[in-house]
Structure 1
Amino acid sequence: MKGFEQGRMGGHALPDDAPPFTTLVHLTWEEGRIEHRIRFGRTIYKHAINQRNRVVGFAPNSVFAFVRWASNDYGTVVSRIDILRTISRGEPFQTLPFVRPGGDLLLKLNGWPKVERVLQIIDVIEALGINAADAAPAYWRHVHNRLTASTDARLYTREQHDAWLSRRSILP
């Protein structure tokens, strides 16, 4: 197949025209059955496979949210959200279905009530005028830990964000 390398992603060949060191995510949309989508993040690459499948890519050291939902004749079988920081060459990473090579997993939650809560938290961050992809990675770990323990996460604040931006500006 021209334009694709030998590797596989979600049953499809990986595109070989993506920029080097791009983290690729395979997205699927089948009305009422499968929904793999990006909730936030800045893509640097897009490739349509067909009407229901596409691949998007993210630059190293960027953050994105990947939502997966699937159902069958009996109801929902998967409801999941993952928030990842993409990796640079040589960094360790966790693997994840539909994500190549993988990433630094900041948040991983299953079950609609927890997924819905994360989506609400993202909405609150965006209501502050902050792109959720720019929020402090430590905050996403906090949300993961609190919701995993079935407790409420603290809301992200403008002050917390400004402190993160200041810290990030002086870090190597």
Structure 2
Amino acid sequence: MIGSPLLGQTVLDGATATLTHVELTWHEKRIEHWLRFGRYAEEKILDRHRRIVSFAPDSIFAFVRWASNDFGTVISRIDIVRAIAPAEPYTTLPFVRPGGDILLRIDGWPKVERALRAIDAVQAVGIDPVDAAPDHWRHVQSRLTAGYEPRPYTRERHAAWLLRRRTEP
């Protein structure tokens, strides 16, 4: 057993240590942290409002955070993240341990909404967003940050990504 705490739990074996852990919270209309897409390897329910989902290295997921108080929305954010392998460099972000390769980070509800529409557009052509090229999510962030519409992700671009991925070492 490794003695380091991980989001309120103890790591029991080396396999768990290689995963990226995301804490999801749901207090209706107050704090809502949820996944828009992603295939998680493990899930641990902490209580009625919180759970931890864990992703294998190289998995891609979209993590949405929204919170409000008595005066309105406090935070709206979406991060599309690639889970990292042990000893790989990463960027930290709240509720994700240890962190990940951030492919897209968007703040503010109007831009978050546009990012969600970009995810919907990928699904509309019959491609699971998990399988889309990581470069597409970087492109979406760049375009939305600059105030432009992202170019659509097409079956042709996806086929090119699959070919490129097969030839990478």
Interval containing the TM-score (normalised by the shorter chain):
over 0.9
SS at 1:66 equivalent: strand
Q: Could you tell me how far apart the structure 1 residues matched to 2:96 and 2:121 are?
A: 27
Label 1:72 to 1:85 Cα distance change in 2 as closer, same or farther (>3 A). same
Query: Which of the numbers 144, 165, 169 marks the counterpart of 2:166?
Result: 169
Instruction: State whether structure 2 residue 84 is matched by structure 1 residue 87.
Output: yes
Q: CA deviation at 1:8?
A: 5.0
Count of aligned pairs between the two proteins: 167
CA distance in 1, matches of 2:37, 2:138: 16
Give 4+ residue runs of structure 1 displaced > 6 Å after superposition: none
Q: Which sections of structure 1, spanning at least 5 residues, go unmatched?
A: none
Q: Report deviation, 1:14.
A: 3.1
Separation of aligned partners in 1, 2:127 and 2:57 = 20
In the aligned structure 2, how far is the partner of 1:38 from the partner of 1:65?
6
What corresponds to 2:11 in structure 1?
A: 16
Q: TM-score, normalised by structure 2?
A: 0.94
Equivalent of 1:48 in 38, 45, 48? 45
State the identity %: 55
Instruction: Evaluate the alpha carbon distance shift between residue 124 and residue 5 of structure 1 in structure 2; reply closer, same or farther with a 3 A threshold.
Output: farther
Q: Are 2:55 and 1:58 equivalent residues in the alignment?
A: yes
TM-score by length of 1: 0.92
Question: Offset of 1:165 from its aligned partner?
Answer: 0.5
User: Is there any run of 5+ residues in structure 2 with no aligned partner, and where?
Assistant: none
What RMSD over aligned residues (CA atoms) do the two structures have, in Å?
Answer: 1.6
Question: Is the 8 Å Cα contact of residues 11 and 17 (structure 2) preserved in structure 1?
Answer: no
**Offset from partner CA, 1:43-68 (integer Å, 9 cap, x none):** 00100000000000000011100000
Residue 5 of structure 2: aligned partner: 7
Whether the aligned pair in 1 keeps the contact of 2:30 and 2:68 (CA below 8 Å) is yes
